[in-house]
Amino acid sequence: MDVTYAVPHLNHGEVHRVQQVTDSAGGKGVNVARVLAGLGREVSCSGFLAGVMGEHLQDLLDADQVEQAWTLVAGETRRTVTIVDDDGVQGATLFNEPGPTVTARDWDRLTRAVLAGLDGAGVLVISGSTPPGTSDGDLPALVRAAVGRGIPVIVDTSGPALLAVAAEEPVVLKPNVDEVREATGIDDPIAAARDLIDRGAGAVLVSCGSQGVLLVTADGAWRARPPEVITGNATGAGDAAVAALAMAVADGARGADLAAHLPAVVALSAAAVLMPTAGAADHDAYDRMRPTIQTETIDAPR
């Protein structure tokens, strides 16, 4: 669950008067699904869900007409509290609660549920961190099973899990610039992305905040930037970028072909920043910005 507080300014140690509280279904994968549903795409959400917060999340997604196939576990679904200040100086401040602890049996049930829902699917998106109790092999095994069924898989995760899933040949990995550096130990994001490709990933899209995105494949590297400075709540920008990637992959784009879709990726990501909460995008801004974004080929020899 995502709880967003809007405040005039944010100063440590002070009492703040909250101007607006927004309660919405959240989590990176849920954000991707809600953006896609808002654009008229058919989506289904799977994952671990627990407790009263989990029931509330289901009710909110029902209202958004998002299909759901959750694996219920013990505990309580976590909340992320985001504080957005009007002056924009501090940016968004996030507080992530711990999620419920899962077991090997829980992972087995989730894997079976996900695989059962892949008939007719154009792409599987796996987003976010793994919950407590997850073993090192759980996430790679899920990716391997889906790829083995001929389903293209996009993964947006971080840390050692990013390296582990690269070996399972996902069609795209989507770290941000800090995550790809941390996972690989390589400072240059293009070189770091190539390390993930050498490990097995088909392509790597690196989100670079206000500087746009980098796409790296075995055939080259490309960059696309937003056409203007965008201010607002950036917490769902990366998830909107994944949603645009998912549309491209579901429509058949692979590898270097994804470069043609970078304007849509950047525009949808920027359009999400204009919304007060993650999981939504300003469709007018998306349509306006998309034709104005140029894709640059980067000359970056190996």
Alpha helices in the chain (DSSP H): 28-38, 51-63, 104-116, 138-148, 160-166, 177-184, 189-199, 237-250, 262-273, 283-289
Neighbour tally for 87: CB within 10 Å: 9
Residue for token digits 């920027």?
270
Q: For residue 152, give both structure tokens.
A: 């293209």
Spatial separation of the C-alpha atoms in residues 272 and 139, rounded to whole Å? 28
The full length of the chain comes to: 302
239 in active site: yes
Of the listed 136, 239, 251, 257, which one is catalytic? 239
Residue for token digits 């894709």?
295
Instruction: Show the CA angle centred on residue 82, arms to residues 45 and 69, nearest 5°.
Output: 10
133 touches 115 (CB < 8 A): no
User: Angle formed by the axes of helices 51-63 and 28-38, to 10°?
Assistant: 10
Residue for token digits 């990933």?
201
Spatial separation of the C-alpha atoms in residues 263 and 271, rounded to whole Å? 12
- Show which residues are catalytic: 239
